[in-house]
């Protein structure tokens, strides 16, 4: 039984249970995983997420007849839920899968915000992969730390550390989507694979496949997908970058995963800035359900989708 099936069965047994209560009922953890799976079940119509009488968000079976004993939501609550649901289920007409059923992969950036606070506990990719793989990733990070000149004197969540053109364009949309349950990870030259809220220091190194044990980063992406019951990966990165090469190196079909690379398609100079900025615009459109085959950036760049 998958985690999604466990959660759906628990929701049918305990209509209106919160994500935290479902974690206790099912043993599925961490909380982030429960939240993301419940959002995906809601997007697919299997459940309904709405406010309970106590103001907390409950998960109810999609069959309305099973939730009639629950206090009705206010008109304002129903309207808010309907708006969120409609936004989440808009499907682009391009070959891309809906965002909520997809692990979105984005690159880090060379430009980083300085400063931060002492490193504390935070969301982490290690919580989404099996312990042996989490240990392997931690050991690899320690080895790469010297090459990347990692400085963890102070830390910031990854989504707030990176300040390149992609993040300047899409940062708020990424943060909002992740907080709302969107599965997303960052490929990082200093840390390998990151949860967007994972606290990191500063470093100076683009990703290099040779820095990491063969297949490690691909296996980490696979296990994140499995922990979240996902079968699709969409990576937003430049076609000729090492980030794209990391994604290409893995044999996704053997893992039952369909992977795609979305890359800008344009000619001319200024690629160092235009590619990340275009990716940022495309990512915002994708997360909003508006990335179709006719999409072009504000500078007229289109996109190429590479099936892997």
Contact 239, 306 (CB under 8 A): yes
Q: Is the pLDDT of residue 270 over 80?
A: no
Name 33's bridge partners.
none
Tell whether the model's pLDDT for residue 68 goes beyond 70.
Answer: no
pLDDT reading at 71 higher than 70: no
Residues 6+ apart with CB under 8 A from 113: 156, 160, 161, 162, 163
Q: Among 16-30, 135-149, 208-222, 247-261, which is the least confidently predicted range?
A: 16-30
Q: Pairing state of beta strands 184-188 and 103-107?
A: parallel
Average pLDDT, the chain: 83
Q: At what angle do helices 31-43 and 3-13 cross, to 10 degrees?
A: 80
CA dihedral 11, 30, 282, 212 (to 10 degrees): -140
Residue 291: what pLDDT? 86
Of 32-46, 73-87, 121-135, which range is least confident?
73-87
What is the distance between the alpha carbons of residues 66 and 142, in angstroms, rounded to a whole number?
A: 51
For residue 128, the 8-state DSSP code is G
pTM of this structure: 0.71
Omega before 137 within 30 of 0, i.e. cis: no
Residue pLDDT, tens place only, 150-181: 999 999 999 999 999 999 999 999 998 988 88
Give the integer Cα–Cα distance in Å for 72 and 301: 47
Give CA–CA dist 127/259, Å, rounded: 22
Examine the pLDDT at 305 and tell me if it is beyond 80. yes
Which pLDDT tens digit goes with each residue over 76-92? 434 443 443 343 333 33
pLDDT band at 282 (very low <50, low <70, confident <90, very high): very high
With beta carbons less than 8 A apart as the criterion, state whether 225 and 233 touch: yes
Domains of the chain, CATH where assigned: 3-88 (1.10.10.10), 99-307 (no CATH)
Give residue 144's pLDDT.
Answer: 95
């Amino acid at each position: 039984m998958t985690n999604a099936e466990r959660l759906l069965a628990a929701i049918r047994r305990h209509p209106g249970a919160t994500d935290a209560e479902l974690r206790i009922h099912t043993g599925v953890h961490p909380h982030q995983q429960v939240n993301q799976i419940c959002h995906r079940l809601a997007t697919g119509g299997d459940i309904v997420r709405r406010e309970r009488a106590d103001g907390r968000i409950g998960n109810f079976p999609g069959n309305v007849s099973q939730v009639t004993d629950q206090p009705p939501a206010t008109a304002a609550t129903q309207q808010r839920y309907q708006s969120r649901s409609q936004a989440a289920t808009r499907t682009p007409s391009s070959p891309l899968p809906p965002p909520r059923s997809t692990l979105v992969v984005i690159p880090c950036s060379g430009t980083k915000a300085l400063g931060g606070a002492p490193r504390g506990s935070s969301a982490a990719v290690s919580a989404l992969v099996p312990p042996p793989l989490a240990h392997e990733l931690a050991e690899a990070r320690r080895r790469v730390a010297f090459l990347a000149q990692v400085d963890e004197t102070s830390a910031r969540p990854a989504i707030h550390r990176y300040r390149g053109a992609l993040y300047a364009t899409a940062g708020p949309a990424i943060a909002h989507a992740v907080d709302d349950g969107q599965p997303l990870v960052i490929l990082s030259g200093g840390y390998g694979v990151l949860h967007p809220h994972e606290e990191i220091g500063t470093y100076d190194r683009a990703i290099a496949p040779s820095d990491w044990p063969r297949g490690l980063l691909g296996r980490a992406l696979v296990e994140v997908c499995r922990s979240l019951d996902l079968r699709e990966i969409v990576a937003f990165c430049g076609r000729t970058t090492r980030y794209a090469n990391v994604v290409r190196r893995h044999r996704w079909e053997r893992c039952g995963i369909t992977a795609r690379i979305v890359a800008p398609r344009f000619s001319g100079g200024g690629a160092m800035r235009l590619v990340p900025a275009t990716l940022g615009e495309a990512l915002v459109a994708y997360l909003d359900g508006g990335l179709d085959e006719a999409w072009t950036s504000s500078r007229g760049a289109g996109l190429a989708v590479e099936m892997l």
